[in-house]
Structure formats: structure tokens, C-alpha cells
Amino acid sequence: MYAILDIESTGGKYNEEGITEIAIHRFDGHQVVDKFICLINPEREIQPFVAKLTGINNKMLRSAPKFHEVAKRIVEITEGTVLVAHNAQFDYRILRTEFRRLGYDFQRKTLCTVDLSKQLIPEAESHSLGKLARSLGIPMSDRHRANGDALATLKLFKLLLDKDSEKKIITEVIREETHGELSPNQLDMVFDLPSETGVYYMHDKDGDIIFIGKTKNIKKRVNQHFTNVGKIARKLQKETKKVTYETTGSELIAILKAYVEQKKKKPRYNHVSKKKLFSHTIDFNQNGTEHIILEVEKNRTLEHKKMAFNGTQSARSFLNKVAQEFQLCPSSLGTDNECLHQETELNASNCNEKVISAFEKYSIQDKNIALTDQGRETGERSFILIKNGRLQGFGFVELNHQINNIHILESIMTPIRSDENTTFIVETYLRKNNRLKTVQLTS
């Protein structure tokens, strides 16, 4: 991950300059994923020649935020990145100076596009940003303003990445981030992967899939496989000759897709258990009482009105969560305490309604719904179709009206065979994540 940076300063004596404008574009190697552009009140006068060069004057900055007001944002957007700038030594020095004034030691690895362009474009007449951009046909606007120069630096850096056939840039960055050693072939594989959510497939020399994984960052996860020291990692490092992938946008789709494909293809380095993924359930019992009682049982069968969990701890944590969320009576949780609503005529009925509401929120049983999430690209949404409480498949839509109709979703989805494990996966994700939107479906 890179942070393309440009800073405009007040000018003045060495290490006494202040920042007047900053632009940062967080770049994952393929696209900008975040950006921060801001005028800054430097709390000192701008040198006249600098004001003439940049067009930024003291009057423009009177109402601008001071550096300490934006410092946290700068730390966050550059976290885990390599700073990339044209004449990076200058921008990095100015930035560190401002942070030192706040008592904070700001440190990032840097790459300088001046140095890189000298290595990769040695024939250029000049390596200044303006002349280099003109000679390479890179459009420039707002010259000597932070965002104009940052955008030109970003376009130049993309070009340098393309020209870097020996992967010197990515080699330096990846080795610094992981403290591992990658072979040239592994570097090529990692370089071509996206930093996106999806499923990845590791192939051997014959093209056979030897490992299937799911992740929220494909590039980062595959890179970890190539730099870890475990037994399986060493085998993958030795045998992997190609990595392919499919982005999903949705983490839940990635989890389901990986589960189904691991079960079907049985890659030799995936541990595909034939057992159920869950070991315990929460069951609805009345045991001759008026109250529905939620009980944790050791059970590998997911029957009607049961929810599955991998262990007693996760089951009891869920009970504690819904007890607070729905204000469940202790009597509904199998304790010996009396009902909180015992003075009302409908005490058992009230308690039971709350238990059923908790179950309804986190269960997919008997439901016809679509669970929607972000898609693979802007303007697209992903969906997971549940029909009569059973997982049907997943897909992607761009039009809102498509989401509400089961028949349309069935026609465009990729089918997934439902079983107790897929129900467990979906319900577990619903319990832990509130980002999914539930859409009630009509025929």
C-alpha cells in the first residue's frame, strides 16, 4: 500500500518552514482507495516568492485548520503505507518536522519518484516533475498546488510501476513489510493480485488447485503464505506456480464460496473436515413450563428452532448478548430466577415473544430474504438468496428493483447447495456482523 504525497510549504529557514497545503492519495497499486486534500494554517508568514509560485497567500489560510487538527487524519491515511513523493526527502522532512512540534515521532518508509525515474527512465532530459510529465505525456493541472502535483506524481508512479519489469519497487516494499524473502516468480504472482475481498486458488506446475483460501485482502494473504514459516506454508511456497482469484466484494460470499469449493475439489493442502462445522446448539425447550427456555446442548444436528455454535463459550456469549439486547428474563435462560414480568397477566407470553424475536433476528429458518452487501465495484451490490430458510446461491446486481424479486434473483444467481454447515456459516456471520442489509422478498 502506498501514500502518494505532495506538500506545499511557507518557505523560509531550514526546519522552520510550515505546511500550507497537503494532498495524500492512498493507492493500493491499482486504484486510489482514500484521499485527503487540505489547506493548512501554518501559523507563520508565507514567503513572498512562494505565494507567487503557488498562488497560496496568508489571507487564504486564516480560516484553514491548523496542523494539529489534521494530524490524526494524516497518521490514519498513511498507516501501513510507503510514502511516495517527487523529491520525497523534502516532503518527508517537512512532515516529520510538523509532527515533532507536536511531540510525535512520525516514521514511514519512503520512495522517491525522482530516484525511481532516474533508474527506470535514464534517458529523460530532466527529472523534474513538470518536465518529466510533459515528456511522458502526463497531463498536469494546478502546478505547484498540492493536489495537482500529487495527481501528477500518482500518474508518474503508475507508469514507473509498469516499467519496473524486474519488480524492484514491489520487491523492496514487500520485503520491508513482511521481513521475508520472495522468489522472483512469487513476486510476480503477488504483484498481479488485487487488495480486495475474494477467493484465491494456488496451483501447482500441472495447474491443479492445491489450496483454496478466502480473505478480505487477496494480495496480503497470499503474500503471507509466501513468507510464513509453517509446514503447510513451506509446501505452498515450494509447489505454487500460479495464483488465480475471484473477487466477491462480500466477505460472507467469499466464506461460502471457499467452503463449497474446498468440499468439492478437496485441494491437498486444505483441511476439509467431513464433520459438521458446529459442535453445540441452542435449543427451544419448555420442559412442561409456560416459558420457552434457551438451553445450550452438545449437538451436531441443526433441527428446526435451533441455532448452531462452535463450542459452549460462543453459545453462552450469544445468550448473554441477546439477553441484554432483548431484555430476556432469567427464567428464559434456564436459571432458577423468577420471571421479571411475574406481576402481569401475560408474563410468560411477554417473555416468550422476546425469545422468539431474538431467534427471528439471528436465524434464517423459514425466511425468504436476500442478504445484501457491497459488490465487486462501484454501483454493484452483492446478494445471498435464502428461500424457505435454505441457502440458494449468490450473485450481483446493479438495479435496485432486481433485489426484491425472488424469480429475478434465481435467474442470475450462482447456485450453492445448502446444508447444515452453510446455515451455520450464514447465521454465525449474521451474529457477528451488522453490515448486511436484509431484504424481504416477494414472488
Q: What is the pLDDT of residues 258-289, one digit of tens each?
A: 999 999 889 999 988 778 889 888 887 765 56
Q: What is the pLDDT of residues 286-316, one digit of tens each?
A: 655 667 778 888 887 877 778 889 888 988 8
CATH class of 2-163: alpha beta
pLDDT of residue 179: 39
Same CATH fold assignment for domains 2-163 and 174-265: no
| Structural domain boundaries in the chain | 2-163, 174-265, 280-359, 369-440
User: Is the predicted pLDDT of residue 176 greater than 80, yes or no?
Assistant: no
Please give the Cα distance from 413 to 411 (Å, whole number): 6
What does pTM read for this prediction? 0.57
Where does 16-142 show beta strands of DSSP type E?
19-27, 32-39, 82-85, 109-112
pLDDT of residue 175: 40
Cell of 44: 507563520
**CATH numeric code, 174-265:** 3.40.1440.10
User: Is the predicted pLDDT of residue 168 greater than 70, yes or no?
Assistant: no
Cell of 357: 424475536
Residues 6+ apart with CB under 8 A from 193: 200, 218, 219, 222, 243, 245
Please give the Cα distance from 212 to 190 (Å, whole number): 16
Cell of 85: 513523493
Please give the Cα distance from 41 to 57 (Å, whole number): 10
pLDDT of residue 330: 73
Q: What is the mean pLDDT of residues 122-141?
A: 85
Cell of 347: 408474563
pLDDT of residue 181: 46
pLDDT band at 345 (very low <50, low <70, confident <90, very high): very low
Cβ–Cβ < 8 Å for 9, 50: yes
pLDDT of residue 184: 66
